[in-house]
Amino acid sequence: MSNIRSKDTTPEERVRKYLFSQGFRYRKNDKRYPGHPDIVLPKYKTAIFVNGCFWHMHGCKEFVLPKSNLDYWLPKLQRNKVRDEENNAKLKEMGWNVIVLWECEVKDINFFQKLEKTISSVSIR
């Protein structure tokens, strides 16, 4: 466990390392696609977003609205969420699969097993 949980490793990097170790080849932050997905698997037409729970208003324990400047934060965060939905819809229209992963999930030790299942279900098609 101590090997996996490195403080310098961002959730995106954890996912990328895992995918690479499983033989997936990906592109990072590809600007050609709506929302600039964190990870693009061209072979599987799959875009993966690794969302921070705060910035993308995840309905989990990690998301806590700031106590001050709510007039500033709430519209800003809500805009992020709307933009996420728009980008996902655009990608799907382009025939892409969209996988949204959350920072809090990526921290979970069992997470990569679940991810493997998600990706194999997508790539079979």
Residues 20-79 that bind Zn ion (CB under 5 A): 53, 58, 60, 62
Residue 15 CB, nearest distance to Zn ion (Å)? 15
Q: Is 102 in the site for Zn ion (CB under 5 A)?
A: yes
What sign does the dihedral 110-111-112-116 (CA atoms) show? Answer: positive
Number of shown-chain residues binding Zn ion (CB under 5 A): 6
Residue 2 CB, nearest distance to Zn ion (Å)? 23
Spell out the residues 6+ positions from residue 54 whose beta carbon is closer than 8 angstroms to its own.
62, 63, 64, 77
What is the spatial distance between Cα 9 and Cα 6, in angstroms, rounded to a whole number? 5
Note whether 38 and 50 are within 8 A (CB): yes
Q: Which is nearer to Zn ion, 44 or 102 (CB)?
A: 102
Q: Is 108 in the site for Zn ion (CB under 5 A)?
A: no
Residue 108 CB, nearest distance to Zn ion (Å)? 10
What is the spatial distance between Cα 53 and Cα 32, in angstroms, rounded to a whole number? 24
Q: Given the rule CB under 5 A, which residues bind Zn ion? A: 53, 58, 60, 62, 102, 104
